[in-house]
Structure 1
Amino acid sequence: MRTGFADLPLHAGKCPPWLFVRMKRLGAAITAAIVYEHGEKEFLRRISNPFFFQSLGCVLAFDHHSSGVTTTVCGALKEGLSLEEHGITVAGGKGKTSRKTPSEIVEKAEFAGLEADQLVRVSRLAAKVDSAAVQDGYQLYHHCLFFSSEGDWAVVQQGLNAPENAGLDWLGAIIGGKARRYHWLSDGLESFVNEPHAAVCADENKDGQVLNLVATESTETRKASVDLINDGTLLRESGQRTLAECKANAKVLVMQREHLVDPRQYKALANARELCPDNYEQLLLCPGIGSKTVRALALTSELVYGTEASWKDPAKYSFSHGGKDRTPYPVDKPGMYKTAEFIEQAVEEAKLEKKEKLEALRRLKDFLPSETN
């Protein structure tokens, strides 16, 4: 299941080398303690929890209110963890490194005797859903797959939402922009394309502006999109065949004036038709099928078959634990402190010097809101 989103401000700059080395060692020690006491599955469950992830970044001494906490914590864990020692490994990363995810998965999975093809498919589907099936305005630029020696997995990925006036300027995108983090977990996952998440966290709810094709309300749109690719033979019998069949109270579809059609979309659709996908997951995995093509299929499905896609923003919580000013949702204090107690225990049990433990626990305490908020 997708277990949560977190919206963070974009910050420029890099993690100092001395801090990264420290984060790598601390992260590995805390992970080892969690795996030893609770098992590999529990670590994956925790890393897929937005608040635990944010708390871990704070304990590792990184700025918790920054987009860099995602890329840096994942990078530190990737270098610090191994299947041999911790039973957990990480593939992927930021920018160009994320493109190496499949090859890294194959290399690491073969070492553990796992089915690499299945894990590669998981990585591709999670990325495709959050970049194309849920169109919330964030473009993915970071993707990491955590997996255990038993084949269980979690995905942590992040997208960029640049200001409209930023253009292709990366610095302009950072100033005033935001990053949204997505968490996935294999445990409890029934479908990648039907309500795959358990929680979604963002600064604001943008209902009516987010095309959500993994919502239950979009089920018929998903079916119709696959049918359109397969020449419309599955639903044609039950659909409207002539204008005369249109009811007086039929819904009216108002199309936008702008029609930006990329010639590459035609090629992607032609390739998908040759592959004849049986379901929406297979459609998303077809080469060349991206957000524009998925959106076009959804709107065409509405026009041809009368299906309705969901435009409801899946965001439910501000950051990872609500907003302290109760906007858009109140802080989940019980959940916060329960998670904090868990990570405190992990720090205490980690093989670290006493001074390091005290400093880590102090940073965690500073991260938590006061009891009076």
Structure 2
Amino acid sequence: MMRSGVAELPLHTGKVPPWLANRMRKLSKLVLKILVEEYGTKGLLERLADPVWFQAFNNLIGMDWDSSGSTTVTTGIIKEALAELDLGVMVAGGKGKSSRNTPNELEKIASKFELDPEPYVKTSRLVAKVDSVALQTGYQLYHHAFFLDEEGNWAVVQQGMNTELRLARRYHWFNEKPDVEELLNPHKGVAGVKREFALNTVDKDSKEVQKAIIEIAQEGRRVVRDLETIKALSKGYAVFYKPRDVDVREVVKRYESLGKIELNLKALEFAKELAIENYKEFLLIKGLGPGTLRALALVGELIYDVKPSWRDPVTHPIDPFKFAYAVGGKDRVPFRIEKGTYDELIRFLERLTETGNREILKRVKKISEKWKFPEEEKIPTF
């Protein structure tokens, strides 16, 4: 199992014009069909879970390389295309209200593929909780798409928004089975803009932190008093307890930079009543949001000296100029889309799928592997 990566994208507004959206659907259907014929449904999911490949596909159909809309539009186009094609892989969820309909759609898809929907619905919820609660970098999830094939392989593409930074961060997941055991050590390679710090309770060495957070959550009213003590210290009031060699104000400021520090007492009551000991089950508690986890982690750090990881899991930045544009970009960068060129590409791929001749694609692949984007043509769209 792996979580393949993360991509950072500026927030863009605007819509895809109908003439372009129609061509995107046609081209996507052809490319997806060829991919499944060549690599199977698992191969398609592995590629969708690769942030670089996903961005390249996004550029292929004419979307911007650096737009938050590249996630929502591209995922929506793929969802529509797979719904029309009978390739053995479908998509649940999407942007906003569609993301909240993921469980219902997953049940229908799993039923169609004769799979038990329960583990996939649970996985969908847990993946969303990991990237919004267990790992916090100041982004609020608003897009969640779950890809499932008839063999039980799955992938997730979800995106969070940071309105202050005007950036979106996209998260990619992949697994060959509906097993959630490895979901708490998800990072294999992460691409994006590295932040100074991130509250990371799923870092590779976070077992002690996870255990402490669960235990603190089950202390009931005591955790409320501990949090009040910390807030008093951060405001300069004298209290009976003071952590040694710690600048309380700076620590609290770091947590507050990610959002409000607040406790959902009902969620803590659930944790205590259920006697939860497993961090995965803990994250799935109804009402456990980012603010509550921040509060619990803060109490753990300042009262019990159990410090979470503050490592942003980004390992390398994405270079947008790795991507070639076949038909141009929606915002005319790096060049405007020519309808005639787009239509010719669609006709070419249609003929290719009809004849079944893939040799020409292999030749193009050899040529493109050594191609580099000309430095003088590197122009961002913002």
Give the TM-score of the pair, scaled to structure 1: 0.75
Q: Which residue is 1:271 aligned to?
A: 270
Unaligned runs of 5+ in 1: 164-175, 233-249, 325-332, 338-346
What is the rounded CA distance, in whole Å, between the counterparts of 1:316 and 1:285 in structure 2?
28
How far is the alpha carbon of 1:305 from its aligned partner? 3.4
What is the rounded CA distance, in whole Å, between the counterparts of 1:64 and 1:139 in structure 2?
21
Of 187, 190, 195, which residue of structure 2 is paired with 1:200? 190
**C-alpha contact 1:29 1:350 (8 A) present in aligned 2:** no
What is the rounded CA distance, in whole Å, between the counterparts of 1:152 and 1:80 in structure 2?
19
- 142-151 or 266-275, larger mean C-alpha shift: 266-275
What is the rounded CA distance, in whole Å, between the counterparts of 1:130 and 1:192 in structure 2?
11
**C-alpha contact 1:217 1:308 (8 A) present in aligned 2:** no
How far is the alpha carbon of 1:261 from its aligned partner? 5.5
Q: Which residue is 2:80 aligned to?
A: 79
SS in 2 for 1:193: coil
Q: Deviations over 1:229-278 (max 9, x none)?
A: 3449xxxxxxxxxxxxxxxxx96444336786646x11221122222222
How far is the alpha carbon of 1:183 from its aligned partner? 0.4
Pick closer, same or farther for the CA change 1:309–1:11 going to 2, 3 Å: same
SS in 2 for 1:86: coil
Letter in 2 for 1:201: A
Pick closer, same or farther for the CA change 1:350–1:88 going to 2, 3 Å: farther
**C-alpha contact 2:29 2:85 (8 A) present in aligned 1:** no
Q: Kindly report the root-mean-square deviation, in angstroms, between the aligned alpha carbons of the 2 structures.
A: 3.2
Q: Which residue is 1:235 aligned to?
A: none
SS in 2 for 1:125: helix
1:177 aligns with 2:175: no
Residues 1-373 of structure 1 mapped to structure 2, 5 A cutoff = 1-82=2-83, 85-163=86-164, 177-187=166-176, 191-194=182-185, 196-203=186-193, 205-207=194-196, 209-231=197-219, 252-256=245-249, 262=262, 265-319=264-318, 322=319, 351-353=349-351, 369-370=372-373
SS in 1 for 2:205: helix
Pick closer, same or farther for the CA change 1:58–1:353 going to 2, 3 Å: farther
What is the rounded CA distance, in whole Å, between the counterparts of 2:351 and 2:286 in structure 1?
50
**C-alpha contact 2:24 2:77 (8 A) present in aligned 1:** yes
What is the rounded CA distance, in whole Å, between the counterparts of 2:308 and 2:347 in structure 1?
49
How far is the alpha carbon of 1:102 from its aligned partner? 0.8
Pick closer, same or farther for the CA change 1:271–1:289 going to 2, 3 Å: same
Pick closer, same or farther for the CA change 1:253–1:281 going to 2, 3 Å: farther
**C-alpha contact 1:83 1:149 (8 A) present in aligned 2:** no
How far is the alpha carbon of 1:84 from its aligned partner? 6.8
**C-alpha contact 2:262 2:292 (8 A) present in aligned 1:** no
Pick closer, same or farther for the CA change 1:283–1:178 going to 2, 3 Å: same
What is the rounded CA distance, in whole Å, between the counterparts of 2:92 and 2:271 in structure 1?
28
What is the rounded CA distance, in whole Å, between the counterparts of 1:116 and 1:350 in structure 2?
39
**C-alpha contact 2:218 2:268 (8 A) present in aligned 1:** no
What is the rounded CA distance, in whole Å, between the counterparts of 1:349 and 1:128 in structure 2?
43
Pick closer, same or farther for the CA change 1:349–1:183 going to 2, 3 Å: farther
How far is the alpha carbon of 1:91 from its aligned partner? 0.6
Q: Which residue is 1:245 aligned to?
A: none
- 67-76 or 266-275, larger mean C-alpha shift: 266-275
User: Percent of counterpart pairs with the same letter?
Assistant: 40
Letter in 2 for 1:191: E
SS in 2 for 1:160: strand
Pick closer, same or farther for the CA change 1:16–1:115 going to 2, 3 Å: same
Letter in 1 for 2:191: C
What is the rounded CA distance, in whole Å, between the counterparts of 2:14 and 2:274 in structure 1?
44
SS in 1 for 2:101: helix
Unaligned runs of 5+ in 2: 221-242, 325-344, 353-359, 377-382
SS in 2 for 1:156: strand
Pick closer, same or farther for the CA change 1:310–1:132 going to 2, 3 Å: same
Q: Deviations over 1:108-157 (max 9, x none)?
A: 11111111111111111111111111111111111100110111100001
What is the rounded CA distance, in whole Å, between the counterparts of 2:111 and 2:202 in structure 1?
32
Pick closer, same or farther for the CA change 1:215–1:349 going to 2, 3 Å: farther
Give the TM-score of the pair, scaled to structure 2: 0.74
What is the rounded CA distance, in whole Å, between the counterparts of 1:38 and 1:103 in structure 2?
29
How far is the alpha carbon of 1:369 from its aligned partner? 4.2
What is the rounded CA distance, in whole Å, between the counterparts of 2:244 and 2:350 in structure 1?
65
Q: Which residue is 1:238 aligned to?
A: none
What is the rounded CA distance, in whole Å, between the counterparts of 2:277 and 2:261 in structure 1?
26
SS in 1 for 2:7: strand
How far is the alpha carbon of 1:35 from its aligned partner? 1.0
**C-alpha contact 1:142 1:158 (8 A) present in aligned 2:** yes
How far is the alpha carbon of 1:88 from its aligned partner? 0.9
Q: Deviations over 1:30-51 (max 9, x none)?
A: 1111111111111111111111
**C-alpha contact 2:152 2:176 (8 A) present in aligned 1:** no
Q: How many residues align?
A: 312
